[in-house]
Structure 1
Amino acid sequence: MHTVTLENIRLYAHHGCLEEETVIGSDYRVDVEVQAPLDKAANSDDLEDTADYVTIHHIVKEEMKVPSKLLEHVARRIAVRILDEISIVQKGKVVVAKVNPPIGGDVASVSVSYLFSR
């Protein structure tokens, strides 16, 4: 099993339980790591044989556009789409982080890590 990783995807989105969060929006960071057998791609040099990071990035951007109350919900949607759209992926992890969350304290970010597998 091999790994494809996308780190620090920066997005502006409208997630949260507070009404202001969904109206005003906030900065987010998303990290995605997927595991897949990549020997065929390494030999063929063919994009169709790998877990294409452009497709993963596209999935993240699309799912982050859909407002949700919970980061867990967003992370799960990203994971489900990766499994549905990239058949070579066997398992992975999605981390969704809200930068400067409105929690009444000085916190750089809060995040949820969501593990997934077939």
Structure 2
Amino acid sequence: MDTMTLHRMEYYGYHGVFEEERKLGQRYYVDLQLELDLQKAGLTDDLEQTVNYAEAHVLVKNIVEKKSFKLIEALAEHIASAVLDTYTVINAVTVKVTKPHPPFDVHFQGVTVELRRSRK
């Protein structure tokens, strides 16, 4: 299986356990690894034979920026489901959501949730 990876897409979302996080919002980073057969696209040079990554970016942007979740696990799950529902050529997706500034007094570069979902 081939892969297409969208690295470190940046969005501003309103997610978090604390109400203030959901009001003020913050930056989030999302990585997608899409597993699909890219041979036909490679041989034909035809966008219709692959996933348009600009459209995938907009799909993720609408979820991150227009919905609100308490947990980044729920955000990642929602992204994975939407990607698989939207693009039937994708066999599996790995979603990484990074929250770079969790609201507590610990100094580190954030927390990342990574999950992989595939077609049943």
- Asked whether the two chains share a fold, i.e. TM above 0.5, the reply is yes
* Amino acid corresponding to residue 25 of structure 1 in structure 2: G
Q: Tell me the TM-score normalised to structure 2 length.
A: 0.94
AA in 2 matched with 1:70? L
DSSP 3-state at the match of 1:73:
helix
Where does structure 1 lack aligned partners over 5 or more consecutive residues? none
SS state of the match for residue 28, structure 1? strand
Number of residue pairs matched? 118
Unaligned 5+ runs, structure 2: none
Residue in 2 that maps onto 1:70 = 71
State the superposition RMSD in angstroms: 0.9
Give the superposition deviation at 1:17.
0.5
* Cα displacement (A) at 1:43: 1.1
- SS across alignment from 2:103: coil
Partners of 2:49 and 2:105 in 1: how far apart?
47
**Residue identity opposite 2:87 in structure 1:** I
Give the Cα–Cα distance (whole angstroms) in 1 for the partners of residues 79 and 59 of structure 2: 6
TM-score of the pair, normalised by structure 1: 0.96
Whether the 8 Å contact between 2:63 and 2:79 is mirrored in structure 1 is yes
Residue-by-residue CA offset, 1:31-86 (whole Å, 9 max, x unaligned): 00001001111111111110221121111101102010011111111111111111
Q: How does 1:13-52 map to 2 (within 5 A)?
A: 13-52=13-52
Identity %, equivalent residues: 36
Structure 1 Cα separation of the partners of residues 44 and 88 of structure 2? 17
Name the stretch that deviates more: 32-41 or 102-111.
Answer: 102-111
Q: Which segment drifts farther, 48-57 or 86-95? A: 48-57
Question: Is 1:94 matched up with 2:95?
Answer: yes
Moved over 4 A (4+): none
Provide the secondary structure at the position in 1 that maps to 2:55. Answer: helix
